[in-house]
Structure 1
Amino acid sequence: MSGDRLLLIVEDDASFGRVLSRSFERRGYTVLHAANFDEMQDFLKQHNPTHAVVDMKLDGKASGLTCVQALHEHDPEMLIVVLTGFASINTAVEAIKLGACQYLAKPSNTDDIEAAFNHVAGTEEPELTNRPTSLKNLEWERIHEVLVETDFNISETARRLGMHRRTLARKLEKQRVK
């Protein structure tokens, strides 16, 4: 596979990866989809992508940041966009330092990602989004952040958040964590 727009998507959510792949194919990209770091490495042995979309949190031994670093080492000119459901300033800074050109919080669509590819240079007046963060989203992000810190130990997470374990379990039932 060759072409001037070869996109590598590194995403462990198969359904989201398929949707993203189809959407970019309709826009004229040739798309490869890797579910993890090892699959990504296999693709890099045979292909030279010009663009990449990397999910920050991947199942397996390597994170999205590890993928970004490997992609940048493979081709420093590659345009790499990082997607994450758990955006933080620390991971954004690290992603950019390791070679990503942009960092987007989910939910992001194909238009957002393509705009990120086309907007590599910084600007003094960045466009502010009109998507206010709801209290529910902030709560959910904090719960997930503590779950990750405690290696998904519900009792310890509830203790750190100062809530009853059953209350946390009910919240987690409403919004499943993968």
Structure 2
Amino acid sequence: MRMLLVDDDELFRDTLARGCRRLGHEVSTAASAAEALQQLREQALDACVLDLRLASGSSGLQLLPELLALQPSLQVLMLTGYSSIATAVEAIKRGAVNYLTKPVSAADVLRALEADPEQAEVSDSEVDALEDLTVNRVAWEHIQRVLLEENGNISATARRLGMHRRTLQRRLLKRPVPL
């Protein structure tokens, strides 16, 4: 498989690339949206592992349709350290084949890319976890949904939520509450 890893975290990107190469795959890397688009213009690829949050405020969700416009058959796996149901659903709607929360291994990435989305089943424990959401997790999910609706605009999201912009930024920097 020929794949592109797009992540602004150099250490994570290089470690994941080495792991995928050891498993026999051809890997290119990019640190930004511009680099990723340039790579796709220069070579045909089978898959792309795309970080949700890129440097300088770029969003993997915004980049995803551009990547698929260049190569419609590209399998895109969305990665994030800040998962939410809203971003997972949006990533799939925009064309991602799967969505994983960091940290992940090369084997996790390859399994997710090779998984048949039509065969995916939700286990009883996953359903129970969704039913037992804590108040903090529901708040996190709501913030993520509003942020998505406001196209990542922090100020507009803070206004809609009735909170100060800096307070919202601090909450967004924290790891999400586990399910």
Fold agreement, TM-score > 0.5: yes
Rg comparison, structure with higher value: 1
Counterparts in 2 of 1:125 and 1:42: CA distance versus 1, 3 Å: closer
- TM-score, normalised to structure 2, is 0.69
2:95 to 95, 99, 104: 99
Aligned-residue offset at 1:6: 0.9
Equivalenced residues, count:
155
CA contact (8 A) 2:5 2:50 kept: yes
Distance between the aligned counterparts of 2:17 and 2:167, measured in 1?
A: 41
Report the equivalent of 2:63: 67
Aligned-residue offset at 1:159: 5.7
Report the equivalent of 2:81: 85
Distance between the aligned counterparts of 2:155 and 2:101, measured in 1?
A: 23
- TM-score, normalised to structure 1, is 0.70
Report the equivalent of 1:165: none
Long gaps (5+) in structure 2: 145-151, 157-162
Letter in 2 for 1:92: A
Confirm whether residue 114 of structure 1 aligns to residue 75 of structure 2. Answer: no
- How well do the aligned residues superpose, as a CA RMSD in angstroms? 3.6
Long gaps (5+) in structure 1: 161-167
Aligned-residue offset at 1:61: 5.0
What fraction of aligned residue pairs are identical, expressed as a percent? 31
Report the equivalent of 2:39: 43
Higher helix share: 2
